[in-house]
Chain A
Amino acid sequence: MAALSQHPGYEEERLQRVAEQLPCREVQAGVLLSLMGQPQQYSYPSVFIYGHRASGKSHVMHVLLKELELPHATVSCVECVSVALLFEQVLLSFFGCEAASLLPRSPSLSDFVRIYRQQCSQSPAKQTRYIVMEKAELLRDTDANLLPALLRLQELVEDNITVILLSEIAWDKFRPNTGCFEPLLLHFPDYSKGELQQILSQDRHPSYSAEFYSSYINILLGVFYSVCRDLRELRHLAALNFSKFCEPLAEGKVKETDTHKLWRNIEPHLKKAMQTVYLREVSSLQWEQMQQMEEKESGALRGLSAHTHVELPYYSKFLLIAAYLASYNPARTDKRFFLKHHGKIRKTNFLKKNEKTSNHLLGPKPFPLDRLLAIFYSVVDSRVAPSASIFSQISSLVTLQLLTQVSHDDQLDAPKYKCAVSMDFICAISRTVNFDIVKYLYDFL
């Protein structure tokens, strides 16, 4: 707190308010403020702030600029699909809507700088103006000139302006190949476990004591900290599961101080949450409903990924099975698997050493249509005519993205495919047609 309160040029009262809103980020805010200097002084032309997701980059900037009432434009690069939107937003927030309407229909950087200079000569900056670009990594995908121009905007428009870029990605990945004006790099470190605990404990429920809530946060971090350090995600999880944590208390089974019993109650629940809510298998609304329905075991509800079961026609199922076998088995083993009179399979004998790595590790291999049909006729018991419907089923499997066509050079003559379904999926399919697929897979021999 002390670090923040001694910046001349700003009102002490406001600084106090800033400090209150930025728990565990006083150091960074202090550094930023001292870099920005007094409002009327020049600041470094461009500052690049990087740090992990939810480490308070946008929040700190927002609070500082808002509370200290500095002229600023906050632009999210996700929203600005064209540079015109970006220019408009900047002009709008600095000079009002008249300036923004001066922009021609598809403005170039030149137009923007011209209008900016024009407006700026009418109302020169009394204080440093700030442009904050959120998600700055997207600037790399736009016009190649945009990023270098933004970095030296102060020089181009000859105004007291500072561009602040916020990103998750390190600066090294941004540098254009002919170089640019290097920004000042600033790192926002991740929150430590203690800081996370402190921040999360702030939004406690008023009807429970602070110690109670903080012990809950402690348990939550114990489960999730090794997987997730994202403050937003943790906060969301904390809000979702708190009612379950309080349940034994409401029923009067335990007291607030009986931490061990509370832990025993909540821990399996949180573990289940990691498999469901954390992965968005089950939406948070469903999760809350599940908690209300006592008797229903949580997790009994089928998540998104459990819905992968697809109802397919009979032959399509076999086509898919054949495709899976063709993708994951080496072609030289086909004879042993699918012909009637074959020798005994000995895995070590008939394969070279380098082929031993499992296909389930490397991913599916492409196969030609002929091989697919050959395997298909071998695995289907009855005689199937190679009718138009069989071939159209193959192409409809491609449109369902269960198969992918590999090379696009020829549609009709010997197309190549790859199977794009997982092991679990194909096992489920083959179970419905009473086919034991594992017996035919070379990897599981």
Chain B
Amino acid sequence: MSKRKVKDTHLPVGECVAQVQGILRERLCHQQLPDKPWGVEAQHKHLLELLRRTAVHGESNSVLIVGPRGAGKTMLLKCVLRDLLEEKEAHKNLLQVHLNGLLQTDDRIALKEITRQLRLENVVGDKVFGSFAENLAFLLEALKKGDRSSSRSVLFVLDEFDLFAHHKNQTLLYNLFDVSQSAQAPIAVVGMTCRLDVLELLEKRVKSRFSHRQIHLLSSLTFPQYLERVQTQLGLPEDFPDTKFAQDWNDSIKTLCADKSVEEVLQRHFNSSKDFRSMHMLLTLCLSRVSVAKPAIKPADLLEASRLCFADAKANMLHGLSILELCLIIAMKHLNDVYEGEPFNLQMVTNEFKKFLQRKSNSMYNFDQPVVMKAFEHLQQLELVRAVDGSSAKTQREYQLVRLMLDHSQIMEALQKYPQCPTDVKQWAMSAFG
């Protein structure tokens, strides 16, 4: 009876879609941890072994996880920690300190954070007492007092490790690595960074104390794997309440991934970047188009999402310019062509524009100089045009040298898409010399 009941739970479609959105959003947007790290099994094993040695046997270690943005560094570490803490002994014996280079911007802040996270005795509630020097001495003393056999081991996780290397004298890094090298309290220092040249940033004395153990997360993903990954990311788990719906959904994802046009789009994304973040962004955009009225992802959704991802921002901005501003941009393009990328000023642009107006008999675009100036300043505000040097106060506005931040093809493409572009303006843009 009960078995049948479980099997036959049919939720209304709206409920199902809400569930799907909830599950997939948590996975794609919140970067929920997967059950098993994917494609980095070797690194996972290595790191897990290393951290277990620290947690269980009291061995001091230091390691750097290096990989490009969105390669899964944090995911790897979190998975390892999750697996490690499942072991009872490790769970009992390991203290964690998480630091982030973005937040702890100097050693003083970092030190306070460490004291706070370790709950040392000069912390009352949430406040930390003592000056920087006292704090450091206290912390080092506390770490020194411990030894391998008796004290609990500490895991230091330094996210955005390269930013810590910019601290003054690299005091924090020096002390952490020093403790990890000498026979004091067992600590493990795990740095995560996206810079491949991170060792060059370290001072000699800091570098010599680092164990030079690096874990590289360079993606060796092939396209079939990428496709499979997309499929698993969109798939629903086994324990979804409505099995019938989950089955249908997973089937529809399978047919989606087999679709020729979808494959083409994904190939394009794969060629532009292999990292998981950009894939998640694409899939989030697809997912947002799923609604009660349309409870499945169609190939058209993916095409639309991909179009959004690949849209050229500058072309979008050019589309919204007024005719006058467009004319100024064309004049600048001509100046760029003639003088081969030399900077120019507003006076020269106006001159070029006037030359165009003189050749045309109709004076539809006969604007005053101040109106032209206002349009030019708007372009400057949009940063389509940038001043060459910063001394803006010293020269008059019309003589300030600027550069155009667009290239030839962007302008021509924008011109093609421009709504109701006058023919003579188009012809002027086409003509090689103004």
Contacts and interface: CB of A to CB of B under 8 A. Distances in A.
Q: State which size class the interface on A falls in.
A: 35 or more
A361 B102 contact: no
Interface in A186-243: 186-187, 189-190, 192-193, 225-229
B348 A37 contact: no
B396 A422 contact: yes
Q: Helix, strand, loop or mixed for chain A's interface?
A: loop
Contacts of A145: 101-103, 105, 163
A229 B18 CA distance: 41
Given A189-B319, A189-B320, A279-B371, A171 B100 contact: no
B69 interface: yes
B277 A182 contact: yes
A222 B427 CA distance: 23
B423 to A, nearest CB: 15
B107 to A, nearest CB: 12
B396 A34 contact: no
Contacts of B309: 185
Interface stretch (B20-28, B183-191, B213-221, B248-256): B20-28
Interface stretch (A147-155, A286-294, A342-350): A147-155
B103 A227 contact: no
Interface in B363-381: 364-365, 367-368, 370-371, 374-375, 381
A227 B371 contact: yes
A31 B288 CA distance: 8
Contacts of A43: 25, 29
A124 interface: no
29 contacts: A35-B284, A35-B288, A40-B22, A41-B18, A44-B281, A50-B316, A52-B317, A52-B320, A55-B320, A118-B126, A145-B101, A149-B102, A170-B316, A181-B69, A184-B284, A185-B308, A185-B309, A192-B419, A226-B323, A226-B364, A227-B375, A228-B322, A229-B322, A278-B374, A361-B345, A363-B345, A364-B396, A364-B399, A404-B394
Top 4 closest pairs, chain A to chain B, by CB: A363-B399, A190-B320, A170-B313, A110-B103
A169 B319 CA distance: 14
A262 to B, nearest CB: 22
Nearest to A113: B103
A229 B126 CA distance: 53
B354 to A, nearest CB: 11
A247 interface: no
Interface stretch (B43-51, B234-242, B289-297): B289-297
B311 interface: yes
B357 interface: no
A51 interface: yes
A84 B383 CA distance: 28
A26 B370 CA distance: 36
Interface stretch (A15-23, A172-180, A252-260, A333-341): A172-180
A384 B142 CA distance: 83
Given A182-B277, A360-B347, A168 B381 contact: yes
A361 B351 contact: yes
A225 B18 contact: no
A274 B371 contact: yes
Contact of B25 (A41, A180, A184, A229): A41
B284 A44 contact: yes
B375 A155 contact: no
A8 B18 contact: yes
A156 B103 contact: yes
B292 A226 contact: no
Contacts of A160: 30
B345 A227 contact: no
A42 B25 contact: yes
A186 B375 CA distance: 25
A9 interface: yes
A300 interface: no
Given A6-B292, A149-B102, A361-B348, A110 B277 contact: no
Given A50-B316, A279-B371, 15 more contacts: A8-B17, A9-B18, A37-B288, A52-B317, A109-B103, A114-B113, A169-B382, A170-B383, A173-B383, A178-B195, A179-B69, A227-B371, A361-B351, A363-B398, A418-B395
Interface in B312-368: 313-314, 316-317, 319-324, 345, 347-348, 351, 364-365, 367-368
Contact of B322 (A8, A51, A225, A361): A225
B77 interface: no
B109 A6 contact: no
Contacts of B109: 108, 110
A305 interface: yes
Contact of B105 (A45, A108, A178, A422): A108
A275 interface: yes
Contacts of A156: 100, 102-103
Given A34-B288, A35-B288, A168-B381, A305 B347 contact: no
Given A6-B293, A44-B29, A110-B104, A51 B320 contact: yes
B169 to A, nearest CB: 19
Interface string A358-386: 00111110000000000000000000000
A58 interface: no
